[in-house]
Amino acid sequence: MTKLKNANKTRDAEATKASILDAAETEFARAGLLGARTENIAEDTGVTRAMIHYYYESKEKLYHAVLDRSFQRRIRNLAKVDLESGPVEQVLQNYVRAFMEESFDNVNISSILLFESIQNHGKYYKEMALAAIYEPLVKIFERGMQDGTLRKLDPYQTAINLVGMCVFYVIARNNLSHLFPEGTDLLSREMIDVHINEAIEMLLHGVLAQGSALKV
């Protein structure tokens, strides 16, 4: 009976922590680290500020936990893409599609990272596993240059441009909505599919070597 009670307490604690992280993610996406208020997170979660402090000690540590959870989720999803087999252009398409789908599945993280750059000058961003995001792209670009599929390019600069292409639509969606008829949902499945396909085609036209076959 004692073991069952302890297991229930553990599950309850994990559920509470996850609920706090969910509410904190929304609040940090709304106002960044500097503007976020723990009382808003507590109200949305249905716990006290003392409970948030008990689990995460400070707003900064809570912010770090939100970033870490989001990055680990993205890394796990991207790790499912096979980077070793198949033509480079197909591997690149698969990776970009997975990256963009992840961005649409978690729109809050893009907003949080915008605030991170403006408010914190990347202080917490650099502590995340950035290599796990950029290194696979760099390796794809290097392999493509070696086998002649891709034109000569700077792998890191191209990776940066590509990541920007993957997240800008999400970050600027409220501004971009004014380009379309009123009421258009930029996060509808139809709009997402069109955007992803156009982004992939633009990418491939930009990186493929002359004479390489474009297959999208």
**Strand partners for 208:** 150
Distances (CA, A) of 184 to 70, 105, 110, 213: 28, 18, 21, 35
Q: Give the pLDDT of residue 7.
A: 47
| Packed helices 155-171 and 107-120: angle between N→C axes, nearest 10 degrees | 110
Tokens of 139: 């390796």
Domains of the chain: 2-207 (1.10.357.10)
Q: Give the pLDDT of residue 65.
A: 96
Residue 56 reports pLDDT greater than 80: yes
Is there a contact between 25 and 68 (Cβ–Cβ < 8 Å)?
no
Tokens of 5: 């009670």
User: For residue range 122-163, what is the model confidence (pLDDT) as tens digits?
Assistant: 999 888 867 788 999 999 999 999 999 999 999 999 999 999
Q: Give the pLDDT of residue 210.
A: 78
Q: What proportion of the chain, given as a percentage, has pLDDT over 90?
A: 77
Residue 10 reports pLDDT greater than 90: no
Query: Rounded CA gap, 27 and 174, in Å?
Result: 17
Residue 51 reports pLDDT greater than 90: yes
Lowest-pLDDT choice from 7-16, 66-75, 164-173, 187-196: 7-16
What is the pLDDT averaged over residues 91-113? 93
